[in-house]
């Protein structure tokens, strides 16, 4: 049964305490997001929270897929972008049956819970498989929306989780990329600045090898494309397993605007933060 909650303009955050993610695993990520929370001023678009699937009240030991997502009033481009992201994340569980043009109908099929209980006592390799996706609103103002696609799965040796971000330009009606914010040929300089900050954060010397402790390709530091915009700078986020072993958790890497002023384009969505 689909449940709908209308969220009005005055509400700035979604699921700040209500998500089911493991508290210990996600504390570091949530602390990093506080830099965004501290300056929220106002919302400008009304939105609706839709919830499909999830754990069945009738079968606590059944596999399931649950998706909680936002629909913004009057912004088709943003809503389609959100749906496309959901489709990409849910694809392994959907057997190719979910398409944008039939999104709501297909999603309901995918999230219909199994009615067959999983008996993990039969084999160590058999375990309950669950998938939860929460689309959370991190920030919204008159020109910028920041969304977190928070995923939690079970099955295997231990559960996994991940956060993937979308920065949306409400004026241009498009997702924001680094190319929209930074001047041409920024990549090398940005990476050098980021590596310097990373090494300082990790307590590494300038030329100390990354080979045995981190999982960077060819043991060379690199930025990923998973970032979100804060008033202080660009916050890059590495999920578990991405550059460190599972037990070392996630990594936040903030690149202050003050350190990349020469790389910033004028008149972008982050110009409001530049002093």
| Burial readout 64-91 (b: 16 or more C-beta within 10 A, e: otherwise) | bbbbbbbbbeebeebbebbbebbbebbe
Least-confidence region, from 5-9, 18-22, 144-148, 199-203: 5-9
The residue-averaged pLDDT of 203-209 equals: 96
The angle subtended at Cα 142 by Cα 138 and Cα 148, nearest 5°, is 20
Question: Which residue reads 């900050």 in tokens?
Answer: 197
CATH number at residue 235: 3.90.640.20
- Are 183 and 262 in a shared domain? yes
Residue 43 structural domain: 3-175
Q: 3-21 b/e with 16+ CB inside 10 Å = b?
A: eeeebeeeebbbbeeebeb
pLDDT, one tens digit per residue, over 244-253 is 999 999 999 9
Does residue 97 sit in the same domain as residue 231?
A: no
- How many folded domains does the chain comprise? 2
Measure the CA–CA gap between 13 and 198, rounded to whole angstroms.
29
Whether residues 54 and 187 fall in one domain: no
Cβ neighbours of residue 178 closer than 8 Å, sequence gap 6 or more: 186, 190, 225, 227, 234
Among residues 124, 147, 175, the one where a domain terminates is: 175
Q: Are residues 170 and 238 in the same domain?
A: no
Mean pLDDT of 263-275: 94
Q: How far apart are CA 32 and CA 252, in angstroms?
A: 7
Percent of the chain with pLDDT over 90: 64
- Bridge partners of 162? 151
Q: Which are the contacts of 57, defined by CB distance < 8 A and separation ≥ 6?
A: none
Chain segment 106-150, per-residue pLDDT in tens: 999 888 876 666 555 544 444 568 899 999 999 999 899 999 999
- Is the pTM higher than 0.85? The answer reads no
Residues 26 and 155 in one domain: yes
* C-alpha pair distances (Å), 259 with each of 144, 239, 274: 22, 24, 11
Return d(Cα 80, Cα 103) in angstroms, integer: 9
Residue where a domain stops, chosen among 116, 142, 175 = 175
């Amino acid at each position: 049964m689909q449940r709908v909650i209308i969220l009005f303009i005055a509400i700035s955050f979604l699921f700040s305490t209500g998500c089911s993610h493991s508290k210990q695993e996600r504390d570091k990520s949530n602390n990093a997001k506080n830099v965004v929370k501290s300056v929220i001023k106002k919302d400008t678009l009304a939105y609706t929270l839709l919830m499909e699937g999830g754990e069945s009240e009738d079968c606590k030991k059944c596999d399931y897929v649950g998706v909680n997502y936002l629909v913004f009033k009057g912004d088709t481009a943003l809503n389609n972008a959100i749906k496309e992201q959901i489709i990409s994340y849910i694809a392994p569980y959907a057997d190719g049956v979910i398409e944008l043009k039939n999104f709501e109908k297909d999603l309901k099929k995918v999230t219909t819970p199994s009615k067959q209980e999983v008996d993990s006592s039969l084999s160590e390799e058999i375990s309950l498989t669950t998938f939860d996706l929460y689309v959370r609103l991190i920030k919204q103002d008159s020109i910028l929306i920041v969304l977190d696609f928070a995923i939690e799965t079970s099955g295997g040796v231990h559960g996994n989780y991940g956060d993937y971000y979308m920065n949306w330009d409400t004026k241009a009606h498009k997702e924001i990329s680094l190319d929209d914010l930074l001047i041409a040929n920024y990549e090398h300089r940005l990476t050098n600045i980021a590596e310097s900050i990373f090494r300082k954060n990790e307590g590494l010397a300038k030329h100390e090898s990354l080979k045995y402790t981190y999982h960077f390709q060819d043991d060379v530091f690199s930025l990923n494309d998973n970032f979100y915009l804060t008033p202080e700078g660009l916050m890059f986020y590495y999920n578990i397993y991405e550059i460190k072993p599972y037990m070392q958790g996630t990594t936040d890497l903030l690149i202050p605007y003050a350190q990349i002023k020469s790389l910033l384009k004028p008149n972008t969505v982050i110009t409001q933060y530049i002093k």
